[in-house]
Amino acid sequence: MVNQRGSVQRVSGPRSTAGRALRIAFIVPPLLALIILLISVRTPAGPSATVAVAPSFDGPRAAAYARQLADYAPDRAPGTLTGKQAADRVAGSLSEASGETVQRSVFTAPGPRGADVTMENIWVVEQGPSDEAIVVLANRDDVSPGPGLNDNATGTAVIVELARDLSGVERARTLVLASTDGATVGQAGNQRLLEDLRAAGLRPVAVVSLEAIGSRTEVLPIRFAGTGGVRTPELLLRGLEESIASQPDAGEASPASPVVQLLDLIAPVTPAGAQVPFLNAGVAAIQLGDGDGGVGVAAIDEGRLGAVGAAVGTLLVRLDAEPRPSPPSSVYIAVSGRVIPGKAVALLAIALLIGPLFAAGQALLVGRPSRAGWSAALIVAAIGAVPGIATVLIARATNLAGAIDTPPGSGWPRAGVVAVVLVIVAGIVAVAIATYLLRYRFRAPLPLVAAPVIGLSGAVLLLAGSPASVLIAVPALWVWTLITRPGGLPRLVWSFGPVAAVGLLIFLVRGADLATLIGAAGTGALPAALVVGGSVLVGAGVVGALASDA
């Protein structure tokens, strides 16, 4: 419009209003969700630090015992004769150190080769006035041929030394010191220990597991995750971190990096560690250290072992003085002594979808793609979902056939070669069918707006698997709705780059491969909705790459 002075006057029309609304949709919801996330970050309180504990733990003596055990019975694999000999030796050591009667539980569970073998747990009970029990344990077994000096003769040695140090100490709760079997074949011993303690009338309220804690320089990982997003109560995590920090020679101990923890929310798999069966049963539990199953010889440091032992002793005494720890909590990310609630991360992930949802709706109202074009796009997207559906079905069938196992020393279930080949073949067949239909059957142009719309459908599937899993879809949806589609080779990058980049990040950082993906999908550790949702995203990328209208 031109005014009376002859100058051009800009008129705000429907297009500028729609553009403003689009910017608001992309910026405001994520910004508000980010503010909520920052506000929700908190520093958890650990057990009372006013309880003074004398660091009487004898590191050189514990290190000497670890070396003696590794020399006496280097092969302590479940079900072996030497494993039984190691159990007898540790039972005698616990009895002598504590002055208490040793409890022994013999049971059978699948061994290293899949067949049932005989295993044995050993523990002593330092009785307190309450039936609530604080449990500290270490697995005794290793993978043949051993000798498992650091993993896990060191953890076993600390249990024996703690039995000596804490014997006769006045306490408010019962203390249980346990040497368990079967950790290298699926934590069978720890599950059995929980059952036996409850059968004996004890109520475990806090569990601390020790594994491979004597290395000279390695950062000791802290395992605090259970199945399905369950986490160790923040008090127990913070208490362990503070106890380790109070001993300068204990070295560094920390949870996995925030990136890995975030990937655990995005692509959840069955967590590893002795804490898992306890957390799954509603008992606060945590593990310090992690190993390789006890294969090979690793040097141990007496000073560090002594400092870690003193830190664990301090934690046990302080936990005893606290009110009953809360039950396992919902998911969170631990970062430098602070925690970010998983719900805040999920809220941010969902808020990041509002912009693409608004943009796709706007494009549908303006473009009005043809019905034939929509039919073609939906068929292509459905074909793109085939590899994901096939992966889930093949994985479940493989698991039912017993062809998925977890190698010793690994927390990853793995499928066999046949399952991997079948999944690859399913992907090739899907590509061949899509190519044939597009070249010889479809005449209508594929609408470009179909790519983000189908991508949003994939995001809904991801949301069903895990709220944070929506983050897998966010980069692709933002690129598809904010960046004009280029031509030629850049078009392929535009279509598949955002999806492939996130997938590669998950695989590379988590150390996974196709066999572990199939294994996790077959055991249910990886939700089927997540696998199929990711496949739908790939199908949406195919639609975007082949779309012919702008």
Do 315 and 436 fall within a single domain?
Answer: no
Q: Give the 3-state secondary structure of residue 171.
A: coil
Do 259 and 407 fall within a single domain?
Answer: no
Q: Is residue 7 part of a domain?
A: no
| Residue after which a domain boundary falls, among 295, 315, 336 | 336
Domain that holds residue 28: 15-38+346-546
pLDDT averaged over every residue in the chain: 86
Strands 284-288 and 220-223, bridge-based pairing? antiparallel
Could you give the number of structural domains in the chain? 2
| Residue after which a domain boundary falls, among 286, 317, 336 | 336
Q: Is residue 540 part of a domain?
A: yes
The CA-based angle 295-252-409, given to 5 degrees, is 20
Dihedral over alpha carbons 386, 391, 396, 397 (to 10 degrees):
80
- Main-chain phi, psi angles of 463, to 5 degrees: -60, -35
Nearest to 69 by CA among 136, 159, 165: 159
Q: Is residue 8 part of a domain?
A: no
Do 136 and 245 fall within a single domain?
Answer: yes
DSSP label at 42? Answer: B
Residue 227's pLDDT band, with cuts at 50, 70 and 90, is confident
pTM score, whole prediction: 0.84
Q: Which residues contact 228 (CB under 8 A, 6 or more apart)?
A: 268
Q: Give the 3-state secondary structure of residue 390.
A: helix
pLDDT tens, position by position, 278-322: 999 999 999 999 876 666 667 789 999 999 999 999 999 999 888
Do 229 and 80 fall within a single domain?
Answer: yes
Q: Is residue 1 part of a domain?
A: no
pLDDT tens, position by position, 43-54: 988 887 766 665
Do 272 and 360 fall within a single domain?
Answer: no
pLDDT tens, position by position, 321-343: 887 777 888 889 999 889 999 99
Q: Say if CB 531 and CB 391 are below 8 A apart.
A: yes
Do 452 and 538 fall within a single domain?
Answer: yes
Do 105 and 239 fall within a single domain?
Answer: yes
What's the helix, strand, coil split of the chain in %, to 5?
A: 55, 15, 30
Nearest to 251 by CA among 276, 208, 222: 222
**Which H or E run includes 391?**
helix 371-400
490 Cα distance to chain centroid: 35
